[in-house]
Amino acid sequence: MRVLITGGAGFIGSHLCDALLERGEQVDIIDDLSTGKLENISRLLDNPKFRFVDDSVLNEKMMYLLIDRCDIIYHLAAAVGVQLIVDEPVRTIETNIRGTEIVLNLAKKFRKKVLLASTSEIYGKSTHVPFKEEDDRLLGSTIYSRWSYSTSKAVDEFLGLAYAKQYQLPVVITRFFNTVGPRQTGQYGMVIPRFTEAALQNRPLRVFGSGKQTRCFGYVGDVVRAIIALMEKKEAEGEIFNVGSDQEISIADLAEKIIRLTGSQSEIKYISYEEAYGQPFDDMERRVPSLDKISRAIGYHPEVDLEELLMKVIEYSRQKMKAEGQIP
């Protein structure tokens, strides 16, 4: 089987490449390397079953060629990360909505199954936890650019469900909850790699806001395993699934845990959202998924707990930073 992954040089995409190639699949990816990194896939470039196209998902002619030749599509390409969303809201909206429109339209033309990667941001500021896939959404004002990401991904979901209903296109939608693991960068605001890199250099860990806000962090290997299984499940077509972990931790406790696990001398520094992002920022206190639906569908349960996940990230970051001369 030939698989197309958009955003395949990104963090999740590159791990998906590894898993599919290990299964013997032919894997084509397209990535413009705007947030993805060549180093994530460099070891794959000599694999005869792997093909990398350095281009944008917005290039409709290239996407036509790639979707024509593939059997299924994992559409992961998107503008990601809080910092990027705040800094480049136009790019966020255009990439997410237009890219998905192109993928779905061509998938319809060639009758190809699609997985659309969505996000826990869909739930907005709802306090009705754990979040279930059918729950109502509660979003902040449009003056806060962060909600442009949630809204653009909601449009993606509406499009995916509309194509499934109107054209009987096989579409599976997954909402990722803070997927973490080796290769993830803190460059765009992802908290665990950002904390880990600071701790390994004994720099202050900057916690935004009160630090009481809680999140659940899912290991990328568990997430990849889940989305492959969902794509193999006929009953998952036309459905939405939360994917991640339901193990909850506050950001302040996360910072303390990373300091302990790294043996760091770092301190925790609390700063306002305005100081962090240069503008007011609308955040939410808790974000916890219900995993009931995905458990019923494919028997999914996270296999890697938070402490093991953190140790995997710490070890990866330590080796990478040593190689780059950032730490002794």
Average pLDDT over residues 275-280: 72
- Strands 248-250 and 214-216 come out as antiparallel
- For residues 158 and 156, give the distance between their C-alpha atoms in angstroms, rounded to a whole number: 5
Q: The tokens 């339209």 sit on which residue?
A: 105
Query: Quick one: pLDDT band at residue 74, thresholds 50, 70, 90?
Result: very high
pLDDT above 90 covers what percent of the chain? 84
Q: Which of 28-37, 83-92, 198-207, 316-325 is predicted least confidently?
A: 83-92
Q: Which residues contact 115 (CB under 8 A, 6 or more apart)?
A: 72, 73, 74, 75, 171, 172, 173, 174, 227, 230, 231
Identify the H or E element spanning 174: strand 171-176
Comparison of pLDDT for 87 and 280, the residue scoring more: 87
Output the pLDDT for position 93: 85
- The pLDDT mean for the chain works out to 94
CA-angle at 85, arms to 152 and 105, nearest 5°: 30
Q: Are 194 and 312 in contact (CB under 8 A)?
A: no
pLDDT at 279 over 70: no
Query: Quick one: pLDDT band at residue 78, thresholds 50, 70, 90?
Result: confident
Catalytic residues: 149
Q: For residue range 79-122, what is the model confidence (pLDDT) as tens digits?
A: 776 667 777 778 778 889 999 999 999 999 999 999 999 999 99
Q: How many CB atoms lie within 10 A of CB 112?
A: 20
Output the pLDDT for position 189: 65
Q: For residue range 122-139, what is the model confidence (pLDDT) as tens digits?
A: 999 999 999 999 999 999
The answer to whether the pTM exceeds 0.85 is: yes
Output the pLDDT for position 280: 66
pLDDT at 320 over 90: yes
Pick from 148, 152, 147: which is nearest to 124 by CA?
A: 147
Asked whether the CA dihedral 314, 317, 322, 326 is positive or negative, the reply is: negative
